[in-house]
Structure 1
Amino acid sequence: MHNKQGTQFIYDLIEKYGPVVKLQGAHGRKILYVFDPRAMHSIVVKDQYSYEQPNWFIKSNLLTLGPGLLSTLGDHHRKQRRMLNPVFSINHMRHMIPMFYDVGHKLRAAIEERVRTAPAEIDMLNWMGRAALELIGQAGLGHSFDPLKEDVTPDVYAEAIKAYVPALYDLSVFRWTLPYVVRIGTSAFRRRVIRWLPMQRLHRLQDVVDTMHRRATEIYLEKKARLEEGDEALLQQVGEGRDIMSILLKANMQASVEDRLSEEELIGQMVTMTFAAMDTTSNMLSQILHILAQRPDAQERLRAEVREAIHGNQDIIYDELVSLPYLDAVCRETLRLHPPATFIFREAQRDMVLPLSQPIEGVDGSLMSEIPIPKGTVVQVGIMGSNMSKKLWGEDAYEWKPERWLTKLPEAVTAAHIPGVYSNLGFKFAQLEMKVVLALLLSNFKFELSDKPIVWNISGIRFPTVGVDGKKPELPLRVSLLDKSA
């Protein structure tokens, strides 16, 4: 499941076994892989505080990302989420869309420069990654990382963020030991030990983490200084003080002492937000472009919808953009079939009983409508398993069909109340980014497959390579400029 080609293993689980499967994890630990909808709802929604993220997951995030949303539990997590919720409100998204369009127009111009005279093969993953970083930079941090021109030295923060997940997954077998490792000595002592150990992969991860936190701290201190100078200084910055961090810092200064986030937590939110926004957004955009290159009929239908919504040379306004039905369907169907995270871990904090939507057969042949879950049991919530379940979605569950979102969804899906990416705090932000970029690209360019075979891999997040043995993440597509008057 943690292999680059682990998707096939998940397919086999879905096809050969029931919606609850016992797996053997690292160090012989038993894990339950669950994609029964009622069980998922219990774990992630109804009894969510009885199924917390495992200690090793929290500790590894704390050590590498800092004390942000992905590194906290319980009241601490709820306190952070309360502070962040208003920043990701729909009302705030409306004020961010000009920043999204500003980045989108620079991206369009950069690609147009390369195909103005003739179609060309372009690595769209590279450009989606650069655009995603600049989007979260401007709208999230009020900082510009990349002018989106060819001859630019890559930002060290961007390179570190891109290297983070592969570096972490190179050491995934050791993540289970982190709750014990962090008890050994001081942080300075552990750092010296890491440098002493003959493990290049561990040294690489430490360098990546150091770079992320050094750059995030520099940006934070600059932002804080401008805020202390007053609103006029903020207006001179990228984002003019409307970015997420500027608003969060203002809200934090005005909050009561008990609700206020520490400086370390604020920097942790910056690192977490940049990591979560960059790779997931760029890979999802790349996945959509790759699918549309394979499905010219869908690409043309989406292009027609977008062009109809464009009034002259003006950008599509927020309300119209989020209401385009086929664009929304394309995004949702791609997220269903190719979720950025194929599963999430949870650990039972006390003895629980897991309800099932339908009885399953146990190893002894008996039928069970619920499963006893002892305290400490690790559960893998199968997002991909649920998204591809034929019992929920029908016999065409494995097919990419945006049209399914334009009519009433199957009763099994709506009745299941399946938790998904839509409950994620940053989902609306990421979805709006994707829609702006897709609207600008599809109204100006045509995307076709190149002669290079593209394979999608799993390594914490999805990423494409040329061929199964490809090492470099890339998505070469043939891009041509469209006649704007057509």
Structure 2
Amino acid sequence: MITPLTSILTAVLVLIGTAALRKAYRLYTFPLRSFGGPKTHSWITGSQHQSDIPDIILEWSKKYGRVFSFASVFNNPRVSIADPKAVAYILHNTDNYPKPDAVRYSLRRVVGPGVITVEGEPHKHQRKAMSPAFSAASVGLLVPTFIDKTVQLCEIWATECADSKDGVYRTDALKWFSWLTLDIIGLTGFNYNFRSLDEYKKGSTQVTTPFKSALDTIFSPAAFFSFVLKGYIPVLRFFPMPIDGPIRTAQEEMQATSVRLLSEAKVTGGKEARDILSILASVDSKSKDALSDSDLAAQIPTMFVAGHDTTSVLLTWAIFALTGAPEVQQKLRTTLRSIPTDSPTMEELNTLPYLDDVIREVLRLHSPVPSTPRVALRDDVVPLGEPVKDQNGKLHHTLKLRAGDTINIPILAMNVDPELWGKDALEFNPDRWAAVDSADAVPIPAVPYGSVLSFLGGPRACIGWRFALVEAKAILFTLLRRFEFELGVPRDSITSESTVVTRPHLKGQRDAGNQLPVVIRPLVEQ
């Protein structure tokens, strides 16, 4: 006798089997397989048999060149394209090359329908409406908050140094930068105080709030696993997992907090508004550029995700780079001390070209996001700047893609491509930028800043790139005028791993979590 449960299980197995057959067909008929690439190690992890994704990207790009094929999660075929002309074409043609469904599903589970997840006309409308809040004038008004919060961090570090036996503070830089940028994005993004630094006490863990607890749930390993699994196997979205209940509760808390913050922003918004949400909420609701309440609320978790993790890891890698080049650290410090104020304006920060060069070099070598996927919605022919040979010796001047083919843009590999940057491409050398006088001096087109791909490019380039840069400048300006930094462990013990963004950890100690051990020494006042 066939029971309802048997029928359901049979249907599920049929759906899964059909999906597996479709994937197998696409894999073995993938038109760009002839370019070769790394072998498939597993039907689950594909070619990615390691978790140190940035190292894999560089290894593959060096071995297989600018165009190669590989298998991603659940053995989905992808083509890696690092040709600058081809990448510019893909990034400009956003209507035909959105993020894959699995990625959009996962992002929507995290941040909802914000500017980084919507596509097409909704994205164009949201981006146009949000652009004034990220203008130079708007970001300039936020610099005092960047400085004030960093001074607060300096005071904590100075106390820790004074209380230690040898006058230095040994700690994890990543932890502190995460707390600092969390407080900053809360205050400047949507006027919410996470109080990470306000309530710090020696030996304590991070202070939490209901909103932060909800975000911790959303970003937990269990939630990440659920998002990936259901993203790549859509049929599983209909079946509950143990983490779904906590995720739902966290999303409800985030939504309630977002609605409350939006209500407060509408009251305080206006000419005196400083935080991004208040600026957006102050737009006349009858204006064609106004966002709906639901769209406004969706930007709150979006701003948190886009404006917190990326900046904290950028700062962490900046300290890592500077500890490996003491002469650069001292040269930068001397430059920063040439400004006769502890509270510079954005204009004053922008008069420091060497600070700009250091940050550009960190972005180039340590892009917070190492790669990004896109999917072709229609058959297309992608132009190449330079022809490439496949494994059969055939020369290709273009790449033919089918609808449904997935592309991987290896941001990090392009940022350190020796053909673009020279033989010292893997070296930290801020002085290289003195020779880069124009955007086309290094041929990575369509990018908003620094001739590097770290903020992507085209219509979907990071809308907050200016915010991130000015924030990083203000923080480094304040810290390096007061402290000297050394790495707290042997340099070769640091490696990196990526789950959306790339963080450092100690080799052989992944269970200890992401970290960057440093020694902080206060400088004698001059």
* TM superposition score normalised by structure 2: 0.81
- Among the aligned pairs, what percent are the same residue? 26
Deviation at 1:49, TM superposition (A): 1.8
Asked if structure 2 preserves the Cα contact closer than 8 Å seen for 1:217 and 1:267, the reply is no
Q: Deviations over 1:27-46 (max 9, x none)?
A: 3321111111111011002x
- Could you say if the C-alpha distance between residues 416 and 283 of structure 1 is closer, same or farther in structure 2, counting changes exceeding 3 Å? closer
Cα-Cα RMSD:
2.5
Asked if structure 2 preserves the Cα contact closer than 8 Å seen for 1:393 and 1:410, the reply is no
Deviation at 1:156, TM superposition (A): 4.3
- Could you say if the C-alpha distance between residues 460 and 113 of structure 1 is closer, same or farther in structure 2, counting changes exceeding 3 Å? same
Structure 1 residue matching 2:208: 3-state secondary structure:
coil
Note if 1:473 corresponds to 2:514. Answer: yes
Structure 2 residue matching 1:68: 3-state secondary structure:
coil
CA distance in 1, matches of 2:157, 2:434: 32
- Could you say if the C-alpha distance between residues 431 and 468 of structure 1 is closer, same or farther in structure 2, counting changes exceeding 3 Å? farther
**Partner amino acid, structure 2, of 1:478:** V
- Could you say if the C-alpha distance between residues 162 and 390 of structure 1 is closer, same or farther in structure 2, counting changes exceeding 3 Å? farther
Note if 1:288 corresponds to 2:318. Answer: yes
Asked if structure 2 preserves the Cα contact closer than 8 Å seen for 1:57 and 1:175, the reply is no
Note if 1:340 corresponds to 2:358. Answer: no
CA distance in 2, matches of 1:2, 1:319: 47
Asked if structure 1 preserves the Cα contact closer than 8 Å seen for 2:421 and 2:442, the reply is no
Asked if structure 2 preserves the Cα contact closer than 8 Å seen for 1:160 and 1:209, the reply is no
Deviation at 1:469, TM superposition (A): 2.6
Q: 1:246 aligns with which of 258, 278, 283?
A: 278
Aligned to 1:398: 426
**Partner amino acid, structure 2, of 1:52:** P
Deviation at 1:412, TM superposition (A): 7.4
Q: 2:225 aligns with which of 170, 174, 193?
A: 170
User: Which stretch shows the higher mean deviation, 376-385 or 449-458?
Assistant: 449-458
Note if 1:137 corresponds to 2:186. Answer: yes
Aligned to 1:433: 471
Note if 1:31 corresponds to 2:78. Answer: yes
CA distance in 2, matches of 1:407, 1:2: 39
- Could you say if the C-alpha distance between residues 245 and 209 of structure 1 is closer, same or farther in structure 2, counting changes exceeding 3 Å? farther
Gaps of 5+ in 1: 185-192
CA distance in 1, matches of 2:514, 2:454: 24
Structure 1 residue matching 2:283: 3-state secondary structure:
helix
- Could you say if the C-alpha distance between residues 286 and 415 of structure 1 is closer, same or farther in structure 2, counting changes exceeding 3 Å? closer
Deviation at 1:14, TM superposition (A): 1.6
Q: 2:177 aligns with which of 116, 123, 128?
A: 128
CA distance in 2, matches of 1:62, 1:210: 16
Q: Deviations over 1:363-384 (max 9, x none)?
A: 3211111011111110011111
Note if 1:357 corresponds to 2:398. Answer: no
Superposed, which structure 2 residues align to 1:7-406 within 5 Å? 7-45=54-92, 47-116=93-162, 118-146=167-195, 148=197, 149-151=199-201, 153-161=207-215, 164-165=218-219, 167=221, 168-171=223-226, 173-177=228-232, 179-180=234-235, 184=238, 193-194=239-240, 197=241, 199=242, 202-203=243-244, 207-208=246-247, 210-211=249-250, 214-215=253-254, 217-225=256-264, 227-228=266-267, 241-251=273-283, 253-256=285-288, 259-311=289-341, 314-406=342-434
User: Which stretch shows the higher mean deviation, 172-181 or 82-91?
Assistant: 172-181
Deviation at 1:50, TM superposition (A): 1.5
CA distance in 2, matches of 1:253, 1:177: 38
**Partner amino acid, structure 2, of 1:475:** L
Deviation at 1:212, TM superposition (A): 5.4
Gaps of 5+ in 2: 1-47, 448-452, 456-460
Q: 1:450 aligns with which of 483, 488, 504?
A: 488
Deviation at 1:2, TM superposition (A): 8.2
Structure 1 residue matching 2:497: 3-state secondary structure:
strand
Asked if structure 2 preserves the Cα contact closer than 8 Å seen for 1:33 and 1:381, the reply is yes
Asked if structure 1 preserves the Cα contact closer than 8 Å seen for 2:369 and 2:411, the reply is yes
CA distance in 2, matches of 1:165, 1:138: 21
Structure 2 residue matching 1:146: 3-state secondary structure:
coil
Divergent runs of 4+, >4 A: 162-166, 178-182, 409-413
- Could you say if the C-alpha distance between residues 31 and 398 of structure 1 is closer, same or farther in structure 2, counting changes exceeding 3 Å? same
Aligned to 1:483: 524
Asked if structure 1 preserves the Cα contact closer than 8 Å seen for 2:439 and 2:445, the reply is no
Deviation at 1:59, TM superposition (A): 2.1
User: Which stretch shows the higher mean deviation, 463-472 or 158-167?
Assistant: 158-167
Structure 1 residue matching 2:312: 3-state secondary structure:
helix
Asked if structure 1 preserves the Cα contact closer than 8 Å seen for 2:258 and 2:300, the reply is no
Deviation at 1:444, TM superposition (A): 0.2
* TM superposition score normalised by structure 1: 0.87
**Partner amino acid, structure 1, of 2:150:** G
Asked if structure 1 preserves the Cα contact closer than 8 Å seen for 2:185 and 2:304, the reply is yes
Deviation at 1:219, TM superposition (A): 4.6
Asked if structure 1 preserves the Cα contact closer than 8 Å seen for 2:380 and 2:402, the reply is yes
User: Which stretch shows the higher mean deviation, 331-340 or 51-60?
Assistant: 51-60
CA distance in 2, matches of 1:415, 1:474: 34
Task: Report the structure, 1 or 2, having the larger helix content.
Answer: 1
